[in-house]
Amino acid sequence: MILGIIGLILIAVAWLPQIIETIKTKKSGLNIKFALIYVIGSFVLVIYSVQIKDTVFLILNSLATLMSFTGLFYTIKYQKK
């Protein structure tokens, strides 16, 4: 369990600089197709985490869904037209 928590923290912390930069600059370097697939995949894993009752996996994938959705939001909102 401790390894899962350490992994969870490292992955969440790794996302933070990208999300902060995306919010500040209102730009995302993410490909919209990648971002959309990632959000959907993360959300499906949240549902799976609930089904298998894995708390670490649930928290990790919830955070991944939230952060990837933020990237997707800024990608769509501020994309060049």
Q: What is the pLDDT of residues 26-38, one digit of tens each?
A: 877 778 898 899 9
Q: DSSP assignment, residue 30?
A: S
Region 40-52: mean pLDDT is 95
pTM score of the predicted model: 0.81
Residue with tokens 């209102």: 26
Residue 19 above 80 pLDDT? yes
CA–CA dist 46, 60 (Å, integer): 8
Comparing 8 with 65, the larger pLDDT belongs to: 65
Q: DSSP assignment, residue 53?
A: T
Region 4-11: mean pLDDT is 88
Contact 49, 57 (CB under 8 A): yes
Region 49-73: mean pLDDT is 92
- Could you name the CATH architecture of 2-77? Up-down Bundle (1.20)
| Number of Cα atoms under 13 Å in the Cβ half of residue 43 | 9
Contact 11, 59 (CB under 8 A): no
